[in-house]
Amino acid sequence: MATTQEVIKELKKHLKEKRLLVIIGAGFSKNASNKYLSWRELLRDMIIEMYGNTKTKLKTLPIDQLVESIISEKGYLSVASDYVRRRGYHEAIDEYVESRTPIIKRDGNDYSMILDGKKQHKPVDLNIHKLLLSFEWNNVYTFNYDNLLDIAADTDKNDDINKEIIKCQEDIIKLTKEKLKKEEGIAKLNNKRPDVQNITASILASDTLPGNNRIKNSSSENEYFANKKLVKDKDEVDKLQKEVDEFKTEIKRNETRIEGLRREQKDLYMIVEKNYQDSIRS
């Protein structure tokens, strides 16, 4: 049989290899505040409501003794099942628990506790939760109704990153469309112009001649102005190409940003709420 030290050594090895998972129960939330109830405390009102007025010897028991007696006899799950049956709908247990479970909200660099819609003036300590999450678990599972792990793990940061990734992707689509328009403009201009360099040289030479000699140096006035239009088209092509290059640079910048954001996501916790998803950690 392995000794305690050997077991700890083996656990440390598995933890280092990210082969351990941890399951967080309701009691762990008490590290943050005594406003979070254990199952025994949570079922107290439920037990009083359902069994406190029965015509049995339980009616004469002190409240704490009544609670202990019912839990010992039935167990937590049976008490909750009785409550659902009496209420007639399964969501009744969710409503009951949620009304007695504080929710944490960020308040600048601090946290606020909300219980049944009211702000509680009680300190919230997430240090133990953050310490737990600092280890390299494979997964972290919890069935608690509170959001302490969500806040401690900065799961909202994952949502913010997803929003930024979507924004970058939308920008890439928009930039790509604009780039294609400019490239189409370049193609149209290129298709209708011959050797622009030779024409440009010819026009520049013609432009140096005074007065009518400039026109006479061309085969015709129409040809001269047609050539001038081609040079103007070349300038437009150069302008469009510069814009295309700028779009390419901006597209590449967004692609690089997305790659960086995805790398950042790898070390973040994310919330998985569906039972067919096999991980609570990304």
pTM exceeding 0.85: no
| pLDDT exceeds 50 at position 275 | no
pLDDT (0 to 100) of residue 151: 87
Domain for residue 187, yes or no?
Answer: yes
The contacts of residue 97 (CB under 8 Å, 6+ apart) are 42, 145
pLDDT tens profile 250-261: 999 999 999 999
Instruction: Provide the residue range defining the domain that includes 207.
Output: 158-265
What are the counts of helices (DSSP H) followed by strands (DSSP E) for the chain?
Answer: 12, 5
Torsion over CA: 191, 192, 198, 204 (sign): negative
Res 281: pLDDT? 45
Number of structural domains the chain divides into: 1
Examine residue 199 and state whether it is found in any structural domain, yes or no: yes
For 175-197, the pLDDT digits (tens) are: 999 999 999 988 888 876 544 44
Give the model confidence (pLDDT) of 4-41 as tens digits: 999 999 999 999 998 999 999 888 999 999 899 988 89
- Scanning the structure block, which residue is given the tokens 């790659």? 259
3-state helix, strand, coil in the chain (%, to 5): 65, 10, 30
Asked if residue 137 is part of any domain, the answer here is no
Contact indicator for 116, 99 with CB cutoff of 8 Å: yes
Instruction: Tell me, yes or no, whether 218 lies in a domain.
Output: yes
Is residue 28 included in any domain, yes or no?
no
- Determine the distance from the C-alpha atom of residue 61 to the mean position of all C-alpha atoms in its chain, rounded to a whole number: 51
Q: Would you say residue 44 lies in a domain?
A: no
